[in-house]
Chains A and B, each alone.
Chain A
Amino acid sequence: MEYLVEGIMAVTWQQIVMYAVGIALIWLAIKKEYEPSLLLPMGFGAILVNLPNSGVINQMMSGVGEVNGVVQWLFEVGIEAAEAMPVLLFIGIGAMIDFGPLLSQPVMFLFGAAAQFGIFFAICVATLMGFDLKDAASIGIIGAADGPTSILVSQVLHSNYIGPIAVAAYSYMALVPIVQPFAIKLVTTKKERTIHMEYQPGSVSKTMRIAFPIVVTIIVGFIAPSSVALVGFLMFGNLLRECGVLKTMSDTAQNELANLITLLLGITISFSMRADAFVNVDTIMIMVIGLLAFVFDTIGGVVFAKIVNLFRKNKLNPMIGAAGISAFPMSSRVVQKLAAQEEPGNIILMHAAGANVSGQIASVIAGGIVINLVTRFL
């Protein structure tokens, strides 16, 4: 009967650590509601793939040879082959986004650009800490505040740390309400945080809403071809939403497609959370650098807004710069909440929302640019 205890005898302390990590992720998802749609499948998957001789990953069995596991197959087909899952998820995300607040104030595009600073700051820090360039770039992209982009870039660059990077990206996205107010207060005064901004949106015609995703895809395709998969599918989803004749497809993309892919993406990513690849000092360093990336994204956006204020008569509330990250709509809500805390009745939500959706576009452009630049040095 010794075959019944083979599993228990084969378990390693690293695998036990991963069970604790999995349970912690499930606890964060259920108790704290931190990105539950991703952290819960990832947490459960972390337990699944770390059971000794787990049947969800490929195993050699005596007498029959290699037996395929479903989670490994999902990873190889859905992520490794062509990054299909994160890319397809972007159709759903694009269909969910209303670019109206951005189209009515196009200047907000600049805040989306500025708030990508954390990516590059983190790449420098990761390089200083000894990671090689492809891993440093993959770690830096945690600062895109965009889970699918982080997964795609780390996969394209063949990083060894896709698991810790995905966990860090999704964990810190969930922690935006804690990280961003701290970072904003580091670089602003109370007086700056109480600045009022008038909202005078320009009109946005239906034609413009339809033309926008097409024009953006072409422009980004010329400037950063590596990001076409991300931008193209994001904008395809948005075109479904805005065209007005594909309502059921738009609804399907926003709900069924996004939910299905998200459900599978979490458990598929857990393939990269096997104990031998996850339990090491590098994972802790990646979590620290990821946090720095989010902090410096926020600081980059806020400082850029303060620089813009040097040239403006009507001052901007610099907090809207912090909303230029991709975590939508959480970041704009956090900025609005902070503004209302500093001075009840101060409403900067629509400005922040404009910066926030620009962050969606800027982060995928950043992903493409990072791939493009880094591969030139490899």
Chain B
Amino acid sequence: MDRLMIALEIMAKGMGGIFVACLVIMAAVWVMSKLSGRNK
């Protein structure tokens, strides 16, 4: 049961981490697109 709780914790933190990473990259792409648009 302890190992399952650890696995569930890894699931929660892992999915959270992936979403955070993707959101940060998404925001960076959005900023880059605005900057490159401004440079045109």
Contact = CB atoms under 8 A, between A and B. Distances in A.
Interface of A: 103, 106-107, 109-110, 112-114, 116-117, 119-121, 123-124, 127-128, 132-133, 136-137, 202-205, 207-208, 211-212, 215-216, 219-220, 223-224, 358, 361-362, 365-366, 369-370, 373-374, 377
B7 A215 contact: no
Contacts of B39: 205, 207
A205 B36 CA distance: 7
Contacts of A136: 3, 7
Contact of B10 (A116, A137, A204): A137
B14 A223 contact: no
Contacts of B19: 110, 113-114
B18 to A, nearest CB: 5
Nearest to A363: B18
Contact of B21 (A202, A203, A220, A377): A220
Nearest to A119: B14
A137 B13 CA distance: 14
Given A116-B18, A211-B32, A121 B11 contact: yes
A224 B21 CA distance: 8
Contacts of A137: 10
A204 to B, nearest CB: 8
Interface in B7-25: 7-8, 10-11, 13-15, 17-25
A106 B30 contact: yes
B7 A127 contact: yes
Q: B3, B7, B32 — which one has the most chain A CB atoms within 10 A of its CB? A: B7
A365 B21 contact: yes
Contact of B18 (A113, A133, A202): A113
26 contacts: A106-B25, A106-B26, A112-B22, A113-B18, A114-B19, A123-B7, A123-B10, A123-B11, A127-B3, A136-B3, A136-B7, A202-B33, A205-B36, A205-B40, A208-B29, A215-B25, A215-B29, A216-B28, A219-B21, A219-B24, A223-B20, A358-B22, A362-B18, A365-B17, A373-B13, A377-B6
